[in-house]
Amino acid sequence: MLSGLIVRIKVNCMFKITDPKHKIKTLKPGDNNWFIDSDFTRTPRAGFEISVSCPRDYRMVLSECIDRGWIKPVAYMKETDYVWETLGGTA
């Protein structure tokens, strides 16, 4: 019923329901700050790693799904870290 919500009990026994998604920033390819830049490299925040022990047929299916855009990388970060990084600070 409260899927995805966190229920916190205050000291005065009142309930406060908060949605944690408001404190989390979702980044997708093409969004600002999708890449992490360092001195010499530029790296996407998220990606896919398919194990070499994954059977070839499954790797081919996953590869096709990624190529067609049916499966996409998504990165999550704290909203506060995102703000600091956007402002040029260190998160």
Assess if residue 69 is contained within a domain. Answer: yes
DSSP the chain: --TT-EEEE-TTS-EEEE-GGGGEEEE-TTSTT-EEE-SS-EEES------TTS-HHHHHHHHHHHHHTSS---EEEEHHHHHHHHHT---
Cα–Cα distance for residue pair 33/21, rounded to 1 Å: 18
Cα angle for residues 86, 87, 89 (degrees, 5° grid): 100
Assess if residue 60 is contained within a domain. Answer: yes
Cα–Cα distance for residue pair 65/71, rounded to 1 Å: 6
Assess if residue 8 is contained within a domain. Answer: no
Assess if residue 11 is contained within a domain. Answer: no
Assess if residue 71 is contained within a domain. Answer: yes
Q: Give the range of the structural domain holding residue 58, as residue numbers without chain letter.
A: 23-87
Q: How many structural domains are present in the chain? A: 1
pLDDT tens, per residue, the chain with 91 residues: 444 444 443 444 455 556 655 688 888 888 888 888 888 998 898 888 889 999 999 999 999 999 999 999 998 888 888 888 888 755 5
- Enter the pTM of the model: 0.56
